[in-house]
A = this chain, B = another copy of it.
């Protein structure tokens, strides 16, 4: 129904000035000397006509699209991607940028990822955010380097690209620390079997914290299973039916904690009276809805998305040198979210 879109020349015509002048006014060009009356006139007319610049033409001319590419794994299957996107989107919007999102399976080949980046490049995005669904080492498509880029929730195997990752160790320390502070001296860890940084770092932190507290970290019970509800269930059963079972359980993630809840229920152990549990991830759907609410460690997905976007834009605008930050990944803290699954051990 609506007729053709109106361009800058329509505004110029209607305002009785040249296209140049309209451009000068609307972009507040510093050196342009134009009388206040003309400025008003142009602005008024532009408003009346509902003029909005054609960003394509603008971008073509200025070599700036105001678009950020975000390649994200598994948008739908984990809520984590959503939080990263949200953080990135809000940070981008705040600075006048928009996001172009490309979804990719976690299993995508390097070529396929390269094609994704290529698509972004052809659209001339000003920068690229490359996000993975969990903290790990990734091999990057070669063409990623051609525009400013930041890695979210992963580090490059080759290094030398700016990255933000969660403080796995700090988070694990907070979790185990909370158990110790509540008075527990027998604490177990239900770990994941995947060979990812989190698995090792959380385990190390677990043992260290115990040892530092004067307990025997190396002797503390650890059971590993796939990081799903049923894995948590199995591991918890093993750990809780062992001799001298722990009164506090640190779980690799909330899903495994959910399994631990069931194992505890089956064994007649009440949470938190008989058994205290801490999770990791802070998946709302689980942690807040379990009964009792699960105390857990939050992964800073939103924050990582926002941080990456902020710094990417800084780099694009020449306010930051990404090369400098690329030396070491930036580590964002994982705060403990306290709910109701920790209590003092029974005497």
Which residue numbers of A lie inside 8 Å of B, CB to CB?
A: 1-2, 5, 52-57, 59-60, 65, 67, 75-77, 79, 81-83, 85-86, 89-90, 98-103, 118-119, 121-124, 145-146, 228-229, 233, 255, 258, 262, 265, 283-286, 289, 291, 302
Contact = CB atoms under 8 A, between A and B. Distances in A.
B55 A124 contact: yes
Helix, strand, loop or mixed for chain A's interface?
Answer: helix
A289 B229 contact: yes
B75 A82 contact: yes
29 contacts: A5-B121, A52-B118, A52-B122, A54-B122, A55-B123, A55-B124, A56-B60, A56-B123, A56-B124, A67-B123, A75-B85, A75-B86, A76-B83, A76-B85, A76-B86, A77-B284, A79-B79, A85-B103, A86-B103, A90-B103, A98-B123, A99-B100, A99-B101, A100-B100, A228-B289, A229-B289, A233-B291, A262-B291, A286-B286
A66 to B, nearest CB: 9
A292 to B, nearest CB: 11
Contacts of A82: 75-77, 79, 81-82
Given A83-B76, A302-B76, A255 B289 contact: yes
A75 B119 CA distance: 23
Contact of A289 (B2, B118, B124, B258): B258
A122 to B, nearest CB: 5
A89 to B, nearest CB: 5
A55 B122 contact: yes
A265 B266 CA distance: 11
